[in-house]
Amino acid sequence: MTEPRTSGQVLAGRTVLVTGATSGIGLAVAQRLVAEGAHVFITGRRRAALDDAVAQLGASVTGIRADASDLDDLDRVFAAIEERGTGLDALHANAGGGEFAAIADLSPKSFDTTFATNVRGTVFTVQKALPLLRDGGAIVITGSTAASGGTPAFGVYAASKAAVHTFARTWAVELAGRGIRVNLVVPGPTETPGLAGLAPTPEGAPALLAQMASDVPLGRLIRPDEVADVVQFLISDSGRMITGTEIFIDGGETARRG
């Protein structure tokens, strides 16, 4: 187990992988980790968005185009990390997504795509990270408050996130012998392009976001940087005795559901 580091930047010298980091929560997390001294590998499926993110984040970032559900892509990601030669101190498995579809309208393709990204992608990202992840390292997984309730037409996404929650609790126990901590951040409705994209039309996005914000007791959507606050805490030495935990960043949404 490494000793706590004393640099003014709490993640100075560390190497972190953040998947799905071209926008929203992942991009905000990458920004925060770079600011705190880490070298951050980021992934995204779209080359243009990835290049834009790298340009925004600066020299302490390495971008790799990858689809989390594609095992060959994951192998390329971890080969690049291994080539850098510093190993991996932490992983934020953030890549994910979903769409509205009631059970009567659900297609096998939509089901398979959601589970491939959210479950298969997360499972094998974690598995392939383990040989490079140092003992005493940290894994943070992005969950969802959808896993804790019943949102109409959002069942497949919710089920995929419930699966990820279960895996994370299991891994926290499995990896404890190496001192690797595994935790979930569980955002409520967060002001991201992905959330706005759930609206059936761009014109309908403001009304959808306003409705979601009205369900949050604190009265607004969560900001991506507020999720980044918690991710930074969990992978830093401040979170060194926290594992197997779900931290809700939801403005009280889950409490309201009861």
Main-chain phi, psi angles of 181, to 5 degrees: -95, 140
110 HSE (CA, 13 A, CB side) = 15
Helix spans in the chain (H):
24-35, 47-57, 71-84, 108-115, 121-129, 155-174, 193-196, 205-214, 224-235, 253-257
Query: By C-alpha distance, which of 195, 208, 188 is closest to 257?
Result: 188
Catalytic residues: 157
Tokens representing residue 1 in the block: 């187990």
Contact 118, 161 (CB under 8 A): yes
Tell me which DSSP letter residue 117 carries.
I
Tokens representing residue 103 in the block: 């059970």
Query: By C-alpha distance, which of 59, 125, 127, 94 is closest to 235?
Result: 94
Query: By C-alpha distance, which of 73, 71, 65, 62 is closest to 15?
Result: 62
Contact 168, 182 (CB under 8 A): yes
Mapped onto helix, strand or coil, the DSSP state of residue 144 is coil
Mapped onto helix, strand or coil, the DSSP state of residue 81 is helix
Main-chain phi, psi angles of 7, to 5 degrees: -60, 155
69 HSE (CA, 13 A, CB side) = 11
